[in-house]
Amino acid sequence: MNGLKHIYIEGGKQLFGTVSIQGSKNAVLPMMAASFLHKGISVLKGCPKIADVFCMEEILRELGAKTWWEGHDLYLDCSTGEGTEISTVYTGKMRSSVILLGAMIARNGKGKIGYPGGCVIGQRPIDFHLYVLRCLGVDIREEGEFVEASCEKLQGSEIFFPARSVGATEQGILTAVLAKGITVLKNCAREPEIIWLCRYLRKMGAKISGEGNPCIVVEGVESLGRGEIQVPPDRIVAGTYICAAAITRGRIEIENPPENELGAFLEVYGKMGGQYKQNSGKLIIDGRTVGKSVPFTETEVYPGFPTDLQSPLMAVLTTVPGKSCIREKIFEDRYKAAVQMKRMGAHITVKGRDAFIEGGFPLRGCTVKAEELRGGAALILEALACEGISCIEGCSFIERGYEHICEDLKALGGILTED
């Protein structure tokens, strides 16, 4: 999909067939940061070739690492890596680069990053990241658009996060693994990506326990060794494809579904009338029975309904008769896609954190603009349900997280072209 300008979609086709899921963007980005903690070569197998991974690669190269690909396996040689600064060019482009701050400090004793701005889904401050670093003994200076941090020797500590944050939990773990003594992190995020990061770090020799629960204990070690792991399938991409089957009332088989990571999402999919079953490792999705509205769904921290599937769910709900309501509790401004869906004929009213959907009205293809990653994917889904042709602009947002969504949907019978 690299460098795409437009995606054209002819709606009205049911999707049928088999699809496999790319490696997880949100699991692999912190693993790339973790690789910087080893002064040698690590490998992430089955790594997705997406814009955010390429951006993180560029940043690691800027810090002195070498990277290369062998098929879908990403090699990171961090034998050299004395860099301690990440410019706003990168933190502006990809907020999650902020999780490298702790890794730079743990490896090189200091770090400087451009303040990541807010983005289209909300302010997205980094105060919890800076809080956990200060608790570990880091001296933080916020000057204009930069954050400068330094610490001679990181010291383990007991830390209570003010709120559940995926990135700040990752920041804490990535910094504590090389700190002196024990760190107890409380009120941690429980997302699967945290569990995968800890599995990867343990392979490198880190001493971590409790991941997946609110309390994670890290015993600092002197150094970390080579990392090697198979990147897990992306649960949000899988959920997006399940929504594609649901919105087209099709039936698809997912060859390598994430394991036990989609519970809350599948519960809502079932409320819409969707059916699914596991069969010898595959996940069979039968969306032909989708047709019921869902009175109320709210996004929550894991294991609740994932905010990243809020817009894809909204697209499906615009096609089932009746009234549905979604409450977005994680980000303050994550309904941009609704504006575009309304241009396609969807009946959606947004009031603060709530979106009220009245589904079942005819949808007509038109030109719409993606403004962020998951909202962009949701517009592709909406276009699959439209009569006539839609044109999706702003594809660079979609390329950040989906390696081959167009090819996958075409292989399932969707009529898409790109330029």
Residues forming contacts to ligand EPZ in the complex (CB under 6 A) are 25-26, 29, 96, 122-129, 163, 165-168, 189, 193, 307-308, 330-331, 373-374, 401
Which two structure tokens, joined as six digits, stand for 258? Answer: 């994430």
Q: How far apart are CA 278 and CA 371, in angstroms?
A: 35
Least distance (Å) from ligand EPZ to the CB of residue 118? Answer: 8
Q: What is the dihedral of CA 74, 80, 84, 87, to 10 degrees?
A: -50
Contact 25, 60 (CB under 8 A): no
User: How many Cα atoms sit within 13 Å of 207 on the Cβ side?
Assistant: 14
Residues sharing a CB contact under 8 Å with residue 70, sequence separation 6 or more, in sequence order? none
Least distance (Å) from ligand EPZ to the CB of residue 302? Answer: 7
Q: How far apart are the first and last CA of the chain?
A: 9
Residue 215 annotated in active site: no
**Between residues 344 and 398, which has the closer beta carbon with respect to ligand EPZ?**
398
Paired strand residues for 387: 364
Contact 262, 305 (CB under 8 A): no
**Between residues 163 and 215, which has the closer beta carbon with respect to ligand EPZ?**
163
Find, among 102, 93, 105, 92, the residue nearest to 129 by Cα: 102
Q: How far apart are CA 419 and CA 414, in angstroms?
A: 16
Contact 176, 136 (CB under 8 A): yes
Find, among 78, 23, 77, 63, the residue nearest to 47 by Cα: 23
Q: What is the amino acid identity at position 14?
A: Q
The 10 Å Cβ neighbour count of residue 351 is: 9
Residues sharing a CB contact under 8 Å with residue 295, sequence separation 6 or more, in sequence order? 323, 324, 325
Q: How far apart are CA 12 and CA 385, in angstroms?
A: 5
**Between residues 42 and 169, which has the closer beta carbon with respect to ligand EPZ?**
169
Give how far Cα 382 sits from Cα of 19, 22, 247, 334, 342, Å.
Answer: 19, 22, 8, 17, 10
Residues sharing a CB contact under 8 Å with residue 223, sequence separation 6 or more, in sequence order? 38, 39, 178, 205
**Between residues 168 and 348, which has the closer beta carbon with respect to ligand EPZ?**
168
**Between residues 336 and 374, which has the closer beta carbon with respect to ligand EPZ?**
374
**Between residues 126 and 320, which has the closer beta carbon with respect to ligand EPZ?**
126
The residue whose Cβ lies closest to ligand EPZ is 167
**Between residues 117 and 125, which has the closer beta carbon with respect to ligand EPZ?**
125
Least distance (Å) from ligand EPZ to the CB of residue 331? Answer: 5
Least distance (Å) from ligand EPZ to the CB of residue 373? Answer: 5
Least distance (Å) from ligand EPZ to the CB of residue 322? Answer: 28
Least distance (Å) from ligand EPZ to the CB of residue 326? Answer: 15
Which two structure tokens, joined as six digits, stand for 175? Answer: 């910094």
The active-site residue out of 119, 325, 366, 391 is 119
Least distance (Å) from ligand EPZ to the CB of residue 357? Answer: 21
- The residues carrying an active-site annotation are 119
